[in-house]
Chains A and B, each alone.
Chain A
Amino acid sequence: MKLTKFFVSLLTTIALCYALNRSFDGGSRDIPALGKLFCPFTGFWQNADHTDEFAQQTHQFPSLSAPVEVYFDQRMVPHIFAQKPLDAIFVQGFITAQQRLFQMDLSTRAAAGRVSEILGASAVPYDKKQRRLGMVLAAENTLAYWQKQSEDYPMIEAYVNGVNAYIKQLTPRDYPLEYKLLGFEPELWTPLRVALLMKNMDLTLCAREYDMEATNALKAFGRDTFDFLFPLYNPQNSPIIPAGTNWNFDPIALPNDSLSPSPALYGDYRQRLSEEVPNSIGSNNWAVSGQKTASGKPILCNDPHLILTLPSIWFEVQLHLPDFNVYGVSLPGFPGVTIGFNEYIAWGMTNVGHDVMDWYRIDWTDESKSRYRYEGAEKEVEMKVERIRIKGKPDVLDTVRYTIWGPIASDNPENNKYDLAVRWLPHDGGGDEARLTRKISMARNYDDYRDAIKSLRTPAQNFLFADVNGDIGLTVQGQLPLKRSEQGRFVQDGSRASSAWAGYIPYDQVPAVKNPERGFVSSANQRSTDDSYPYAYHGNFADFRGRYLNRRLESMEKIKVEDMMKLQNDNFSLKAEQALPLLLQSIAPDGLNGQAKELYEALKSWDYRYDVDSKAASYFDIWWRAFYKNTWDEMEALEEKMGVIDYPESWRTIALLAEDPENAFFDDKRSPAVETAADMAQQTFEKLVEKVAERTDKGKDMAWGNYRKANFGSLTRLPAFSISDKQVPGDRAALNANSGRAGPSWRMIVEMGDRPKGYGVYPGGQSGNPGSRFYDDALDHWLTGKYYELNFWPSPPAEGDESVLYRANFQN
């Protein structure tokens, strides 16, 4: 009896412990081991950081050449004081991993197509896409280039060593919360991970193209209508390099023929390769010269618009060394400062839209897709077998075929006649981001800046500059392929060697401007130049922000930092200013009553600002979307049939509305009557009235901030770690380019003077830990358009300085 009792009790204990020590398949998400998770000595409670007690840290690493002192300020920004650059970078790796290890891990795992290892089978399609795009190959090529060519490769190694020094001293109780929830362990960091991070940025910034969409549109409409719908230039464009700039160089001669596709190249092209990148990814930057400022010294501003996640994509840091001192934001996983300023200069970046991802049609000569036609002969593909490991499931194998152009990244298993190979610039490797980072951090003038940015190949950036001497400048920097007219705008012939890019625009011929007469340089992702630039290019360019920005900067005088803050937070939409009066003129106000009249009046008196309390902003948003959708109903029908198709840009739609309101595209083909733009505007206005009535009947507020809520999604995609339903002003056509998911990921303003003075804010906080008060402590500041004065310390703070939260001492 006693024995039975004992065994029952023992078995219960063991079963309980066993059950609490393993995870369970919970459908979409695994349920983690609850005993492990709840035990307050090892589980999630260990990640609940004390909100105002911070232990001084002391570490010892013999690999350091001298001691390094780190001071964390009240926002937990580390200020690293070191004697040698590599020591500073080692400590930066350590500190960044301490705050952001999971983010670093996940972003580079995602780049490599290894998410299934931690999330299970649901991530296999994502992983396959990454493998087919050759992300690892691109990272390997980049790493090989660094190892062979870069004097600054030791910087990568020092950073990796710093990250690993942090990982090695972790015990399971110290793991970031996400590891505990997902039940995996951090693995040691590698230089390949650093390269993968760079390729991840490339994927975000220079993988937007519309080759298949454009080819399908050309096939559907023919040349004349295609050109009518999709002109390359907006005549109202305000280019980055001021129009009328002289190009003082002899351009490389290219064959004159256009590479527009013949109908033989049309096909069934329907597979989009990468995840849709939200349109609101983009950025603004500008610098005004002393002639336009109150202080007589330049002011430089930058706000890169990226997906707004928690933790944020950026991590603030100061690196102080005997011969240079630099402050700014870094990408967790890469050494140094990416956007920032030092004692002499400041720099910033926005994305360049030149198309560096082209598709080549590959005609197979055998059923098994192992050979393809090339220059009148047959060429063999290289097969690479990708092994995708999956949590709790057997591995999946996927064969990726490589052609001379690149991997077959769009294939149709039903069709063994042809597929598409992708030629993507980042596959080449070739950029020396470590050198760029070191040189720009140490730059003291315009020439140093120009020398530093030579190392940037991808992603091409509008690289902005200002210094304490009073110089300002901007270079459209990157590896820009030499293309013939329309080359790479459509799917190209992969059987001809002549379809290849002819080379790259030489460094001294890329568009650049220094101290222009107008007293400012600026960019907002619009076209780099007017059409006098000798090289043909096309790509993904924005319109409205750049035009509005230049208009504002032209009119501003005696500029102060506060004016620049207001401009970065400007919610004015040029798109609305152009489109709304055209729409309104079709509405006869006399015939309106009740709510329709109210909406009309609200729109009529709207100042085109997407403020959170503006109802008119919501009305215009609804109206324009409906108008655009109904106007291009032809596209929607074709999209259903062809899979993907290009849609005309907003500026083109507005131009048609203004200049050609009776164009057949405005006619709704489903109705017997023949509609004009005015009919379309009236019909969609009625829809607006209905939609607003529907929402207000449900008691929903129409103010922009409540109509379009913003989400700051956790990288884990767990709603509990995300912040949602926030009121956020702005619109993607406004300088304050918030789309709800993407927006100004770092607002920085640097005023030049005897010493630069920096202001900045990003939506989130320095810690990646959802259990820290620094996880989202800057969010409200950011939401309300406020800035922090950045602590750009010239020397270590004194003992007892109140701006220091805690210290970390790294001994050698």
Chain B
Amino acid sequence: MKNIIGLFAILVAGYFVHQWLPWWSIAIVCAIVCAWLQQTAWKNFLLGFVGVALLWGLTAFVINQGNDSILAARMGELLGGLSGGLLVGVTALLGGLVGGFGGMSGGLAGQLGQGSPEAA
């Protein structure tokens, strides 16, 4: 349940943050959500990773569908011969990494001065 709420929070807050703030603000969103949820470091990483990978990957996927992969084909060639689909994957992966590390850092920050969630 916690994870579903967390995922939902990252998707919604991330979507809004991306409308106005620099791209890396998504790391802070994940950090805040994970600090609030109080889970283990790896669960936080996974939550941040999946959250942002979904947010970025799905957005890229939808845009790419509407665009018939015209730009993805050209950008893929520019980046050394990636296919359009793979480019969506790379987008998800990059976002996932940023979200994962952001989430993990936030979770760890939340635990400073408290016991670990397992002990609690």
The 8 Å CB contact of A17, one of B27, B71, B90, is B27
Say which residue of B23, B67, B91 sits within 8 Å of A42 (CB atoms): B23
Chain A positions within 8 Å of B108 at CB level: 2, 5-6, 9-10
Contacts A5-B108, A10-B105; A39 near B56 (Cβ below 8 A)? yes
CB of B102 within 8 Å of the partner chain? yes
Majority secondary structure, B binding face: helix
A9 to B26, CA, bound (A): 16
Contacts of A798 in B (CB 8 A): none
B70 touches A773 (CB 8 A): yes
Q: Hey, what's the 0/1 contact readout for A139-153 against B, CB within 8 Å counting as 1?
A: 000000000000000
Chain B interface, number of residues (Cβ within 8 angstroms) = 40
Please tell me if the beta carbons of A39 and B105 are within 8 angstroms of each other in the complex: no
CB distance from A44 to the nearest CB of B (A): 6
Does A48 lie within 8 Å of B24, measured CB to CB? no
Considering the chains assembled together, what is the distance between the CA atoms of A45 and B90 in angstroms?
12
What's the least CB distance linking B116 to chain A, in Å?
A: 8
With A6-B109, A13-B98 as contacts: A44 and B67 at CB distance below 8 Å = no
The winner among A10, A21, A773 for most chain B CB atoms within 10 A is A10
Q: Are B91 and A40 in contact (CB under 8 A)?
A: yes
Across the interface, do A20 and B91 meet the contact criterion of CB distance under 8 Å?
no
The CA-CA distance from A46 to B26 in the complex, in Å, is 17
B66 touches A17 (CB 8 A): no
Give chain A interface residues in 1-42, CB to chain B under 8 Å: 2-3, 5-6, 9-10, 12-13, 16-17, 20-21, 34-36, 38-42
* Residues of chain A with a CB closer than 8 A to B91's CB: 38, 40, 45
* B64→A2 contact, CB < 8 A: no
Q: Which of A3, A5, A773, A775 has the most CB of B within 10 A?
A: A5
A482 to B29, CA, bound (A): 73
- The answer to whether B56 touches A48 (Cβ under 8 A) is no
Q: Which A residues touch B10, using CB under 8 A? A: none
In the complex the two chains form, what is the Cα distance from A20 to B105 in whole Å?
Answer: 18
The reply to whether A9 and B104 form a contact with Cβ atoms under 8 Å apart is yes
Cβ of B98 and Cβ of A35 under 8 Å apart? yes
Does A771 lie within 8 Å of B112, measured CB to CB? no
Q: For chain A residues 764-797, which have a beta carbon within 8 Å of chain B?
A: 770-773, 775
In the complex, which residue of chain B has the Cβ closest to the Cβ of A43? B23
| A50 contacts partner chain B, Cβ-Cβ < 8 Å | yes
Q: Which of B63, B68, B95 contacts A38 (CB 8 A)?
A: B95
Note all chain B residues with C-beta closer than 8 A to A43: 23
- Say whether A720 faces chain B, with CB atoms less than 8 Å apart: yes
Write out the residue numbers on chain B whose beta carbons fall within 8 Å of the beta carbon of A683: none
From known contacts A5-B108, A9-B108, A40-B91, infer whether A47 and B23 are also in contact, taking CB-CB under 8 Å.
no
Chain A 43-86 interface 0/1 with B at a Cβ cutoff of 8 Å (1 = within): 11111111101000000000000000000000000000000000
From the candidates A2, A46, A719, A771, name the one contacting B70 in the complex (CB within 8 A). Answer: A771
Query: A16 contacts B67, CB within 8 Å?
Result: no
Q: Which of A39, A46, A50, A770 contacts B74 (CB 8 A)?
A: A770
Total A-B contacts with CB atoms under 8 angstroms apart: 118
Closest to A716 in B: B78
Whether the Cβ atoms of B94 and A44 lie closer than 8 Å is no
Write out the residue numbers on chain B whose beta carbons fall within 8 Å of the beta carbon of A189. none
**Contact (A36, B97) CB under 8 Å given A45-B59, A720-B74:** no
By a CB distance below 8 angstroms, the chain A residues around B15 are 41
A9 touches B105 (CB 8 A): yes
Please give, as numbers and ranges, the residues of chain A lying within 8 Å of B27 by CB-CB distance. Answer: 13, 17
Query: B10 → chain A, closest Cβ, in Å?
Result: 14
Nearest A residue (CB) for B76: A720
- Residue B49 is within 8 A (CB to CB) of chain A in the complex: no
A39 and B71 in contact (CB under 8 A), knowing A2-B108, A5-B108, A17-B98?
no
Q: Would you call A718 an interface residue if the criterion is a C-beta within 8 Å of the partner chain's C-beta atoms?
A: yes
**In-complex Cβ contact of A718 among B78, B98, B109 (8 A):** B78
Cα–Cα, bound, A444→B67 (Å): 44
Chain A residues contacting B74 (CB-CB under 8 Å) are: 720-721, 770-771
Contact A47 B71, beta carbon cutoff 8 Å: yes
CB distance from B81 to the nearest CB of A (A): 10
A44 touches B71 (CB 8 A): yes
**In contact, B64 and A34 (Cβ under 8 angstroms):** no
Q: Is residue B60 within 8 Å, beta carbon to beta carbon, of the partner chain?
A: yes
Q: Which residues of B contact A39 (CB under 8 A)?
A: 18, 23, 26, 56, 95
The answer to whether B24 touches A17 (Cβ under 8 A) is yes
B94 and A50 contacting across the interface, CB-CB below 8 Å: no
Q: What 1/0 mask marks residues of chain B from 7 to 36 whose CB sits below 8 Å from any chain A CB?
A: 000000001001100111011000100000
Closest CB in chain A relative to B106 CB, distance in Å: 9
Nearest Cβ on chain A to B32's Cβ, whole angstroms: 13
Complex contacts, A50 vs chain B, CB 8 Å: 66-67
List, in ascending order, chain B residues with CB within 8 A of A17's CB: 24, 27, 98
Query: In the bound complex, do residue A51 and residue B56 qualify as a contact, i.e. CB atoms below 8 Å apart?
Result: no
Please tell me if B41 contacts chain A, counting CB pairs below 8 Å. yes
Chain A residues contacting B64 (CB-CB under 8 Å) are 45, 48
CB 8 Å contact bits of B107-120 with A (1 = contact, 0 = none) = 01101100010000
Knowing A16-B97, A41-B19 are in contact, say whether A48-B78 is a contact too (CB < 8 A). Answer: no
Rounded to whole Å, the gap between the CB of A780 and the closest CB of chain B is 15
Within 8 A of B (CB), among A239-257: none
Given the known A-B contacts A16-B98, A51-B66, are A36 and B77 also in contact in the complex, defined by CB atoms under 8 Å?
no
Provide a sorted-by-A list of 7 A–B residue pairs whose CB atoms are within 8 angstroms.
Answer: A9-B101, A10-B109, A20-B94, A45-B71, A48-B70, A720-B75, A775-B70
| In the A-B complex, the 5 residue pairs with the closest CB atoms | A771-B71, A41-B18, A39-B23, A48-B67, A720-B78
Given contacts A2-B112, A45-B63, 18 further A-B contacts (CB under 8 A): A6-B109, A9-B101, A12-B105, A13-B104, A13-B105, A16-B97, A17-B24, A34-B94, A35-B98, A41-B23, A42-B18, A42-B23, A45-B71, A47-B71, A51-B68, A720-B75, A770-B74, A771-B67
